[in-house]
Amino acid sequence: MTKFLKTMILIGWMGCAAALLSAAPAEAADVESILAGMEQRYSGKGFSAEFFQESMLRAMQITDTAQGRLVVKRPGKMRWEYTLPDEQTIISNGESLWIHRPADNQVMVGKAPDFFGQGKGAGFLSDIRLVRKSFTVKLAPSDNDAYNRLRLVPIQPNPEIADITLSVHKDSYQVDQIVTHNEYGDETRIVLSQYQFNLEPEESLFNFVIPQGIDVVQLDQQ
């Protein structure tokens, strides 16, 4: 091999290395700008949205759907009001959790971090800054030009979350779809629409007064 050919090969390898080195910061910069846009979009005191949820259990080949309305108050407070297929309300004040099922005359009581902690149950929507704090975030391929896709992998291993994919609108920085997989391959997809931002929801929405005569089930005892 001539010295000239060796030099050209070396230059080629250096060029490839430079391209790889420059690609990583570019991707990081894109992720950073998306996260910053999301944090600005969700920086108000609260918001509401309609949601459609589809849950697929891989082993049992079962798919369930539900829909309703979500109300959030930063930081940590959420109210999921399911209207279909059955009425139920999941309420969190950031510390306590209530799941009220009127048809069963039942309320389940537990701790909010057990249900929404580490991004479970789309809990990061209660404070979008948790995406940056709790996950390793990378760009993912998108089949829709209007959206950026972010792939989230928990920093702390969690069997309930293998990864989460967010579809973030390029113009509004709204999170319009959340797809969560667990380590068993089960998938939960949440589609959010009809957002209303810059709300200041009443504090009473995020607490539940247990009526007399209702069946109370402690979640940590199940």
Which residue type, as a one-letter code, is found at position 12? G
| Per-residue pLDDT reduced to its tens digit, 159-168 | 889 999 999 9
Q: Please name every residue paired with 57 in a beta bridge, in sequence order, or none if there are none.
A: 62
Separation CA 86–CA 53 (nearest Å): 13
- Which comes out higher in pLDDT, residue 36 or 2? 36
Domains of the chain, residue spans: 6-221
| Per-residue pLDDT reduced to its tens digit, 106-165 | 999 999 998 898 788 899 999 999 999 999 999 999 999 999 999 999 999 888 899 999
Mean per-residue pLDDT for 195-219? Answer: 95
Q: What's the CATH architecture for 6-221?
A: Clam (2.50)
To 5 degrees, how large is the angle CA 175–CA 178–CA 180? 155
Least Cα distance to 149 among 17, 22, 34 occurs for 34
Which residue type, as a one-letter code, is found at position 59? A
Coil/strand/helix, residue 21:
helix
Q: Where are the beta strands (DSSP E) in 13-146?
A: 46-57, 62-73, 77-84, 88-92, 96-101, 106-111, 135-140
Q: Is the pLDDT of residue 10 over 90?
A: no
8 Å CB contact between 58 and 183 = no
| Per-residue pLDDT reduced to its tens digit, 43-81 | 999 999 999 999 999 888 889 999 999 999 999 999 999
Which residue type, as a one-letter code, is found at position 104? D
